[in-house]
Chain A
Amino acid sequence: MFFQRLTSVKLGAAFAAALTVTAVPASATECIAPSNPGGGWDFTCRTIGRILSELGLVDGNVQVTNMPGGVGAVTFAMVAAERPDDADLIVATSTVGITQIAQGRYPAPLDAMRYLAMLGADVGVIAVDNDSPIQTLAELNAAMVEDPTALVTAGSSGAGGWDHIRLLMVAQAAGVDDLGAIRWVQFDGGTDAVTQMMGGQIDVVSTDLGEIAGFVESGDIRILAALSDDPIPAFPDIPTAISQGIDVTGYNWRGLYTGGQVTDEQYASWVERLETLYNSENWQTAATESGLVPIWRGGAEFEAFVREQAEVMEQISRDIGVIE
């Protein structure tokens, strides 16, 4: 009747939903965001899903399913076990997900999936409260070198996750020896971490800029460094870490994977459609407005990139001491 023609969105409470192939109408394209609503993966699925149907690249709407759990591990395991050949399924992933795989935190290896494309990247930033005595990245680094335990740092990932590693990479470049001594606190999102910093509970936040950009514009927090090669177009005044002598970049790219057993034609078709989407005005606008830098890598090039990044990430995690 009223909602008859609508594809459903299963959200929130859809806990580890064992979505069998049979349960989903055969024609529906589905994008799984392996997180709760509101985060980066959720944004990826919702925005890409919306634009895919706006551009007519899929039949009807794209059904967005939230399947949180284990920083993407639940979804990864489900796709590997139950839907490896479902060509109508795409799953959001990012540097965060690849970091988890590189550290052996997913129940299946990297090869279990085929990686489609990267469509944009969020830039990692190091931020302090507006009232903080720390004015520059150099001052932060000096404080951490003098006493690694002096400051409380936080972000949206757990210990050893990408937000944490980015901060440790900066500290390592600055010459902090005992990286394990730096205090790290996990929050459920970058916004949670920032508000706790404004409340005086923690001193430094390391996370993606996109989610917390509003607090930068309102003047509540101060960004010490952007972990990008070039200044961010939306915030040209924020200095990069490189420009301050710390040679660290920390992007969080946003991309998609599909099951490991989809055929080459189906894979190629997805890459082609995503490239069309990437080049559209809709995506460029949506990405920029939400603080992403549009970047394209697709198909075989992207597969190679993912593999290389996983190796690099494993090496960094080993160096820093996150894994043995």
Chain B
Amino acid sequence: MSVRILGVAIFVIAALYTWQAGNYVVNFGDVLGPSVFPVIVGVPMMILSASLVVFPTGQVEWPAPQRMWRQAAALAVLVGYTMTLEPFGFPLATFALIALIGIILGGAAWRAALLGAVMAPALWALFDKVLGLPLDFLGTLFGRG
């Protein structure tokens, strides 16, 4: 079933992609134009994904609900990191990232927090000081800007 759904999803994406390609036209000096290659990619995608819908292969075992919740929590932490990195600055946001993912992965809370407290400043030092790739120590919330 899952494979069939994947096939349908890819088919829809490929169809939209191929249809959209028709809108890219230039009429000067570019023989093939920007629309032909997407069609060359999109059409076989539609055929292959349709064949997956008709003749699916493989069995998929999705995780149990409570494990899915853990995955969702991990994703929430990752998305949260992208949102808090600039306001909170690198070390603080990274501390939270490491500690929370560590806890979600089954580490003891105090150990995960300790790991984050050590690794976040260490990574900041490695990138900002050693490699010369600047990272904000304090974020925009704390007056950096």
Contacts and interface: CB of A to CB of B under 8 A. Distances in A.
A269 B123 CA distance: 39
Contacts of A3: 129-132
A184 B86 contact: no
B132 A322 contact: no
A8 B26 CA distance: 40
A158 B26 CA distance: 12
Nearest to B126: A1
Interface string B15-58: 00000000000101111000000000000000000000000000
Contacts of B136: 22-23
Contact of A4 (B129, B139, B144, B145): B129
B133 interface: yes
* Interface secondary structure of B, over-half rule: loop
Contacts, number: 44
Interface string A2-37: 111011101000000000111111000000000000
A1 B129 contact: yes
Contact of B28 (A1, A20, A23, A321): A321
A108 interface: no
A104 interface: no
Interface in B53-106: 86
Contacts of A4: 129, 132
Contacts of A1: 129-130
Contacts of A322: 28-29
A322 B29 CA distance: 8
Interface in A150-165: 158-160, 164
A219 interface: no
Given A20-B86, A22-B140, A164 B134 contact: no
Contacts of B131: 3, 8
Closest CB pairs A-B (n = 9): A159-B29, A3-B132, A8-B132, A159-B30, A6-B132, A22-B145, A184-B29, A8-B133, A22-B140
20 contacts: A2-B130, A3-B129, A3-B130, A3-B131, A7-B132, A8-B131, A8-B132, A8-B133, A8-B134, A10-B133, A22-B136, A22-B145, A23-B86, A23-B136, A159-B26, A159-B29, A164-B29, A180-B28, A183-B31, A184-B29
Interface of B: 26, 28-31, 86, 129-134, 136, 139-140, 144-145
Given A2-B130, A8-B131, 18 more contacts: A1-B129, A1-B130, A4-B129, A7-B132, A8-B132, A10-B133, A21-B145, A22-B86, A22-B144, A22-B145, A23-B134, A25-B134, A159-B28, A159-B29, A160-B28, A184-B29, A322-B28, A322-B29
